[in-house]
Structure 1
């Protein structure tokens, strides 16, 4: 059994306008650099302000303020702006922000889910109180889905008849705080007529696991995001493994971070697999591997 311990999260704090403070996990970030002149990208989304050369690769740059509904950054403002180069969902994307403030260290358990009143169109996955300020954690997956809607379409996965039957007999629970990630996961399973249940946070997932076990239909496969407010994927996994009386599910953790550290820590806390999201075929075959061990 892995020993439970806190898993600190570093956040980069920055401004998109003069008042609101936003946060982004540093594991997503490759580099922070001052604004540099960009090459035009014809026929691109209005939020894409151009492209830059980054370590030999062409990286699109998105005006983050405009992408989430604020006024676009003016040419004058860009002179003192910063570009945050990120590595998310296996692609490098630059985000233009007004200015960078600092990096802080926090715990996911201190991050609160956003109010439901914000609705499904809010680009926020969580809120953090810090020194009488409210930091809004951005839902980068949702932002990218709005700019590149084709990126959320699941690829076709070919399964044998035997594999389809195996999947249909499973009790699968999906948990993710990002509405885009939930849709991607759901679409992948819906396309194969595989039944499942879904929730948005780790604590509810743990409660459902315990209830399902008590009802005599334990969860076979748990597919969970890692970075979530409250009970994150690491803590969820540890808590599940710590319930000795619970029939143990096959646990697949997934993350938008291309990080060996994230994968390594996932196995330390008891996950059976860790994936960088999202690839429908990888997910389906990970679920099948779990089914073979039931």
Structure 2
């Protein structure tokens, strides 16, 4: 496959407890700061140690160790700790970690999904074997959902009867490795009585696309996360666009990243749109744009059409 569908991923490695290493993508990170004084928040989650000022704004700081079930850092340990300021799901959050290790470069094909035996509530989206260490990639979305459960509440979106019927007539596929993101996506469509397929990774998504095409009911709207173990969203989009035998779906890449670079790259690999998680109104409107796009009209004339709308 062409290198156009591939993008290297930089990971920040850090420690939470003992010598075990964890990682998050650097595209999520705004800045890494030494621990600073925080202002306590009343009635907050036990893992929220307070707020710190970052570039003139008050940013909540979460003790990541406490949030995932390890012992919280003591006051003495905090003095040598770091705060990773992230930009995730349209909000700035600081994560207190025991120690920042290094930044490494990898690609998502090297990342393995976590064993199913770990259960549904594990805070890990993938494992990376570097030869000397097994890096655990943290599910930041799940962590935030545990600390801020209200973030899972999906706002009610008003659709006309025609719009609901339009979306209900489409063959839709949702792809996301995060259980929190899958629930948010599913809740939106369930609330409107819209049928869909859902899977956790790009490889299975590609199989569903091929199977549905072969059965005469091709996928028309593909909503995929970007950062996933194995076949990530970029490569999935590129593989779909590179397969001239497939009726081409309208591709929406859906990401917790607010990085303009990641959204720009989504268009380069053939995605029609790239949205930052999570706004139900934006998602449904993007699907409606897909339903009326020239992609579907062109595909009735040529299965190899690649209109980017």
Q: What TM-score bracket applies, with the shorter chain setting the length?
A: over 0.9
Matched with 1:186 is 186
Give secondary structure in 2 for the equivalent of 1:4: helix
Aligned pair 1:145/2:158, yes or no? Answer: no
CA–CA distance in structure 1, aligned partners of residues 167 and 12 of structure 2: 40
| 1:228-253 deviation line (CA, Å, top 9, x unaligned) | 01000000000001110110000000
CA–CA distance in structure 1, aligned partners of residues 180 and 64 of structure 2: 17
Matched with 2:242 is 242
Q: How does 1:119-198 map to 2 (within 5 A)?
A: 119-198=119-198
Matched with 2:227 is 227
| 1:3/1:269 contact within 8 Å kept | no
CA–CA distance in structure 1, aligned partners of residues 3 and 162 of structure 2: 38
TM-score by length of 2: 0.94
Residue 5 of structure 1 and its aligned partner are, at CA, apart by 4.4
Residue 19 of structure 1 and its aligned partner are, at CA, apart by 2.1
Residue 4 of structure 1 and its aligned partner are, at CA, apart by 2.6
| 1:111/1:230 contact within 8 Å kept | yes
Matched with 2:287 is 287
Matched with 2:17 is 17
Residue 152 of structure 1 and its aligned partner are, at CA, apart by 1.1
Matched with 1:77 is 77
Runs in 1 of length 4+ with deviation above 3 angstroms?
A: none
Give secondary structure in 1 for the equivalent of 2:52: strand
| 2:12/2:102 contact within 8 Å kept | yes
- Change in Cα spacing, 1:76 to 1:3, as seen in structure 2 (3 Å) is closer
| 2:5/2:234 contact within 8 Å kept | no
CA–CA distance in structure 2, aligned partners of residues 288 and 118 of structure 1: 38
Q: How large is the RMSD of aligned CA atoms in angstroms?
A: 0.9
Residue 3 of structure 1 and its aligned partner are, at CA, apart by 6.3
CA–CA distance in structure 1, aligned partners of residues 3 and 96 of structure 2: 40
CA–CA distance in structure 2, aligned partners of residues 229 and 157 of structure 1: 31
* Residue ranges of structure 2 left out of the alignment (5+ in a row): 297-309
| 1:217-274 deviation line (CA, Å, top 9, x unaligned) | 0001000000001000000000001110110000000111111111110000000000
TM-score by length of 1: 0.98
Residue 9 of structure 1 and its aligned partner are, at CA, apart by 0.3
CA–CA distance in structure 2, aligned partners of residues 41 and 165 of structure 1: 46
Greater shift after overlay, 129-138 or 173-182? 129-138
CA–CA distance in structure 1, aligned partners of residues 290 and 163 of structure 2: 12
| 2:173/2:198 contact within 8 Å kept | yes
| 2:5/2:239 contact within 8 Å kept | no
Q: How does 1:36-51 map to 2 (within 5 A)?
A: 36-51=36-51
CA–CA distance in structure 1, aligned partners of residues 200 and 5 of structure 2: 23
CA–CA distance in structure 2, aligned partners of residues 289 and 203 of structure 1: 26
Give secondary structure in 2 for the equivalent of 1:227: coil
| 1:162-208 deviation line (CA, Å, top 9, x unaligned) | 10110110100000000000000000111111010100000000000
